[in-house]
Amino acid sequence: MPIPLLAEGFGRGLSGIPYIWTILQGVVVIGVVTLLKSYFGGATCRSERVMHGKVVMVTGGTSGIGAAVVEELATRGAQIILLTHHAPSDPFLVDYIEDVRTVTNNELVYAEQVDLSSLHSIRLFATKWVDNAPPRRLDMIILCANVMTPSFGTSQTTIDGLEAEWMINYLSTFHLLSILSPAIRAQPPDREVRVLFSTCSSYIGGKLDYNGTEKATKSGSSAYARSKLAVMTFAYAFQKHLDAYKRPDNQASNARAIIVDPGYSRTPGTRRWLSGGTIWGLLLYLITWPLWWLILKSPTQGAQTYLLAAMDAEYGRGAGGKLLKECREYQPLRPEVENEEIAKQLWEFSEKQVEQLEKQGAVKRALAKKEEEKKQKTKDDTTKTDAASSAGKKEPTAGSRRSRKAK
């Protein structure tokens, strides 16, 4: 069939082939879409590494890019510890872990309950991890947890009274790493320890306004940009903190902080932001989905730079504090993220904020416990009184004088 058509085309011209112009138009459209999809899909991680024996702690690993990173590292044999606000017995989490173990053929996937919106929950987990003797193995911490207020919404307030973006995107990272720092620095010198921070190009428009962190704001975008700018500033400062530690064995620091920008991806958070958190917005998102499919990465494509930072040998040695995007190194577009004075101010503010809020939280928990004990005591006293009252009203014994009088 194709040979006669080609012969017809050579003999009588392209116009002699049926539907030739329609076919050519279709080929052009498919070719353009393929090229655009390839361009917006970003770079691919070419690093190949077996991760058997590696212990990787992941936040935000149950959805979006974090889930794609977890699946790939678990496939390569890494032991995964998911930090999630779900209880280990939660049906969703149980099913999710079972699915990951089945797909990756790796049984070393576990979960620890850590609510990143609660400073107390973070401290309970981190202190328990650090108090272990000898120090538990820890090769990598991947911080993918992220929250973004919808474009038409108002940012939420956490249990500690903080703006959700500031707490979950930044302060939880600061608090967790501040406590885990001894465990990171205690790792043997021949072990490559990596801490992967998540950022976004929105940090370019961020402003470190500390006065607005303890109240919800109507501008979710500005709050998100501020949190990402704070994350980047802290990441560079944390690398200097690790480098300044003098190891007992006089070896050089083997821990490295790496900042990862995954690019724009079709994650649940992005979908929620685009839809504005409304039903009508979600309907509009579904109608325009082909556009988002074309210009936004899939979670797997967004995970590629994380995988490069996690597996490539280059980022396990040498200087840390690098920014990666599209599997390449970049210089930050906001030079103040590497400014020591700004980093010092952020660190001191964060420490004071955590200390103050933890004290307030401890007082609230103590009052709540006291109130609960008071209620329990009142309940017990009522039960005793009722029991004593019942014992005082004895039923007359059969055949006794009282029973005969009663008749």
List, by residue number, the catalytic residues.
228
Is residue 196 classed as helix, strand or coil in its secondary structure? strand
Share of the chain above pLDDT 90, in %: 50
Q: Could you tell me the strand order of the sheet in which 322-325 lies?
A: 109-113, 79-84, 55-59, 140-143, 193-198, 255-261, 322-325, 328-330
Over 80: is that where the pLDDT of 55 sits? Answer: yes
The answer to whether position 157 is within a domain reads yes
More confident residue, 1 or 370: 370
Over 90: is that where the pLDDT of 57 sits? Answer: yes
Query: Rounded to an integer, what distance in angstroms lies between the CA atom of residue 49 and that of residue 56?
Result: 14
Same domain, 182 and 147: yes
Question: How confident is residue 406, by pLDDT bands cut at 50, 70 and 90?
Answer: very low
Q: Give the pLDDT of residue 15.
A: 64
Same domain, 158 and 135: yes
Work out the mean pLDDT of the chain and round it to a whole number. 86
The answer to whether position 390 is within a domain reads no
What is the extent of the structural domain holding 31?
Answer: 2-40
Question: How confident is residue 177, by pLDDT bands cut at 50, 70 and 90?
Answer: very high
Same domain, 21 and 147: no
The predicted model gives 88-93 an average pLDDT of 90
Same domain, 202 and 345: yes
Q: Give the pLDDT of residue 393.
A: 58
Over 60: is that where the pLDDT of 235 sits? Answer: yes
Lowest mean pLDDT among 2-6, 108-112, 195-199: 2-6
What digits encode the pLDDT tens for the residues 298-345?
Answer: 999 999 999 999 999 888 888 888 999 999 999 999 888 999 999 999
The answer to whether position 385 is within a domain reads no
Same domain, 23 and 66: no
The answer to whether position 71 is within a domain reads yes
Q: Give the pLDDT of residue 247.
A: 86
Question: How confident is residue 391, by pLDDT bands cut at 50, 70 and 90?
Answer: low
Residue closest to 312 by CA, chosen among 115, 48, 60, 93: 48
Check which CATH number belongs to the domain holding 177 and give it. Answer: 3.40.50.720
Same domain, 22 and 98: no
The answer to whether position 368 is within a domain reads no
Question: How confident is residue 156, by pLDDT bands cut at 50, 70 and 90?
Answer: confident
Q: Give the pLDDT of residue 39.
A: 85
Q: Give the pLDDT of residue 74.
A: 95
Same domain, 149 and 198: yes
Same domain, 36 and 94: no
* Final residue before a domain boundary, out of 335, 356, 377: 356
Same domain, 222 and 332: yes
275, amino acid identity: S
Query: Rounded to an integer, what distance in angstroms lies between the CA atom of residue 20 and that of residue 278?
Result: 46
Same domain, 33 and 95: no
- Domains held by the chain: number: 2
Question: How confident is residue 161, by pLDDT bands cut at 50, 70 and 90?
Answer: confident
Query: Rounded to an integer, what distance in angstroms lies between the CA atom of residue 113 and that of residue 94?
Result: 12
Share of the chain above pLDDT 70, in %: 87
The predicted model gives 49-62 an average pLDDT of 92
Query: Rounded to an integer, what distance in angstroms lies between the CA atom of residue 241 and that of residue 350?
Result: 15
The answer to whether position 372 is within a domain reads no
More confident residue, 265 or 387: 265
Number of H helices, E strands in the chain: 15, 8
List Cβ neighbours of 253 (8 Å cut-off, separation of 6 or more).
185, 242, 243, 245, 247
Same domain, 31 and 64: no
Lowest mean pLDDT among 59-63, 276-280, 354-358: 276-280
The answer to whether position 361 is within a domain reads no
Lowest mean pLDDT among 75-84, 213-222, 264-273, 295-304: 213-222
Q: Give the pLDDT of residue 300.
A: 93
The answer to whether position 123 is within a domain reads yes
Q: Give the pLDDT of residue 317.
A: 82
Same domain, 315 and 233: yes
99, amino acid identity: D
Over 70: is that where the pLDDT of 10 sits? Answer: no
Q: Give the pLDDT of residue 70.
A: 95
